[in-house]
Amino acid sequence: MRSFRSAPRAPQAVFSRYSFVLLSAITAACLPIMDAQAQTRLAPVVVIATREPVPLDQVTADVVVIDAQRIRESAADSVEDLLRREAGVQLSRTGGPGHSAGIFIRGASSQSTLVLVDGVRIGSATLGQVSFDAISLAQIERIEVLRGPGSSLYGADALGGVVRITTRRGEGPASFSGHIAAGEYGSKEGEISVGGAGGGFDYTASFSRESSDGASTLRAGDRFGNYNPDRDGYSRRTAQLRLGYTVAPGHRVAVSLVDARLRSQYDASEFAPPDYAQDPSPNFGTRLDTQVLAVSYDGVISPIWTTRVQLAHNADESLDGAHFPDRFITRRDQYTWQNAFALDARQQLVAVLERLEERAKTSAFSSEKRRHNDSLGLGYSGKFGAHLLSADVRHDDNSVYGGKTTGRLGWGYELGHGLTARALAGTTFRAPSFNDLFYTGYGVDTVRPERGRSAEIGLSWLSGDSNASVTLYRNRVRDLIAYEPDRAFCPVDSSYDFGCARNINRARLQGATLTAGHRIGSLSLRGTVDLLNAKDERSGERLERRARHQETLSADYQIEAWTFGATLMTLGNRPDGGKRLGGYSTLDLQARWRLSTQWQLEAKVLNVGDRDIEPARDYRALGRQGWIGLRYSGIGL
């Protein structure tokens, strides 16, 4: 952690120090009212920490909950931007909204974050990561984020953490809602939704569409000569359906479907025959279609035994390029049987049997590739007086890379007045992607999974509308999969003359995360400080696109029918492709005016200072952008 103390006092570092002071002040302001608020509100219930519902103040892991209200009121331009603001994770994006994006939880790679939609694993098996640019905020009801080891609960790829997205579920009288908005850069978005419950049925259906003319994703003079001055926009439409039926008390069957289509443009070059000269002028684009389908049964078998069976399918199909596009097709079928046993009012045992079948096809593979994974997991969580205990273990047996066993052990102690001390340690792994294994001229089928060992300690406080926490963590990752340029370490085939995939690196990821939130009358304050030291242990260099610090401070003030909000975010400098990208600060402002119980007028300005942001080397984010919108929510239609 010495690098944090020895860093030069750049403006961002100074802001980091002031942010820490402000968070401390928020926490201190909360302390005098602990006793008064301790019983005013129950802790939110989360699923991500144990795979079964449990109060947030009884988990030993570092979990963030982003509820429906915070999603609707956020000024975030996308899911990945929302996660950066609310969960303290870092973001890398090749342009503005609608373009390729990845998140780094505690410095782990974007391939090391597992994403679930309604319990279904999503993402491209060829790339080994989720296309956040294809996910719309419009259909999301709730997001839970597990920061830290998650492989012993969810299997491969939960090395840095897990993001659990839940779509809307109908309840209560029939209702209708809608939202339209327009902004600069030719940006538009609209959404309609209906839902309700009655006669044993619950239902919701929604449709959304977003588009923007955007700006050129690349800057002039980029290192590979791919710049094209045309605008690189995007359009995204998403449809969602969720239908459930309670066949008898305690027994429910359901089906859910999410269908998304993304069309976006970007800058690149072609090298066409006969002279194979570089040509950046074609209009390059991505056509990505994603579907998530799940059929499930939830049943209460007895007062101590509940069960869940889910059959799920995820399909990703993308077409990337201009005149000679590449097609990538991924299919995932997931079968899950999960059982929870309440040993008593404060102890729970969870058993999971799961099978995942994956297949992928692309022009870069000699044929369609397949693999399957069978797994068995056991988890325990309990409370004994002031002590909290959690333990889980999972064994995954993969048809390509063999068996992996992971485990996690957590302990907590309630100090009183809403304060809880906790400690957690676990092992993780990231599976090699189909590209790592089979891509012609790069993939090697003997590449092993990456392995991680993670440990953390933390102190958290939760009372009513106020909370604060600090977590110190350390994660050692071995067998990192990276490009090996030395021909001697690659297969003898001539197609590997320019290198191959290989397990060659080790990484050390350590740091601290501080969060605080408090409501003072009509004023609500939230803040996050993330300090990160992410290094390649072989070279001693900082991992690319990881900043040493990131801070977010948000304030919302309500006066009669008006609500005003502001979000200030700062990110430190980052290395990327031999260049150090400058740090930056952005300020977003928003206002909402409730015209009636059903209608609300909304306005926001993103990047008020019109900062020229370089989110990745040679790429450009959007400048200042104003939005105005109208929202409707009606009940009993």
* pLDDT at residue 74 is higher than 80: yes
Percent of the chain scoring above 90 in pLDDT: 83
* Residue 355 · residue 335 · CB < 8 Å: yes
Q: What is the mean pLDDT of the chain?
A: 91
Give the N- to C-terminal CA distance of the chain in Å, as an integer.
58
In the block, residue with structure tokens 């098996």: 125
CB neighbours of 345 closer than 8 A, spacing ≥ 6?
Answer: none
| pLDDT given for residue 39 in this prediction | 43
Q: What is the DSSP letter of 569?
A: E
In this model, does residue 37 exceed pLDDT 60?
no
pLDDT digits (tens, 9 = 90+) for 219-241: 999 999 999 999 999 999 999 99
pLDDT of residue 34: 41
Least confident of 73-77, 363-367, 568-572: 363-367
Q: What is the pLDDT of residue 152?
A: 97
**pLDDT band of 40, cuts 50, 70, 90:** very low
Predicted confidence at residue 570, as pLDDT, reads: 96
- The mean pLDDT value for 398-403 works out to 95
pTM exceeding the 0.85 threshold for the entire prediction: yes
Residue type, 606: L
CATH number attached to the domain at 40-472+485-502+628-635: 2.40.170.20
- Number of Cβ within 10 Å of residue 310's Cβ equals 20
Distance of alpha carbon 129 from alpha carbon 101, whole angstroms: 10
> Per-residue b/e over 42-53, b at no fewer than 16 CB within 10 Å?
ebeebbbbbbbe
Give me the residues paired with residue 159 across strands. none
Instruction: Reply yes or no: is the peptide bond before residue 274 cis, omega within 30 of 0.
Output: yes
Tell me the pLDDT tens digit for each residue of 143-154.
999 999 999 999
3-state helix, strand, coil in the chain (%, to 5): 10, 60, 30
List 506's β-bridge partners, or say none: none
Strand-pair category, 419-430 with 450-463: antiparallel
pLDDT band of residue 637 (cuts 50, 70, 90) is very low
57 DSSP 8-state letter: G
How does 259-272 read in b/e, with b if 16+ C-beta sit within 10 Å?
bbbbbbbbbbbbee
Place of tokens 């031999």: 578
> Where is 83: in which H helix or E strand?
helix 79-87
Task: Identify residue 188 by its one-letter amino acid code.
Answer: K
- The domain locations on the chain are 40-472+485-502+628-635
The pair of three-digit structure tokens given for residue 20, joined into one six-digit string:
């820490």
| Cα gap 628→637, rounded to integer Å | 26
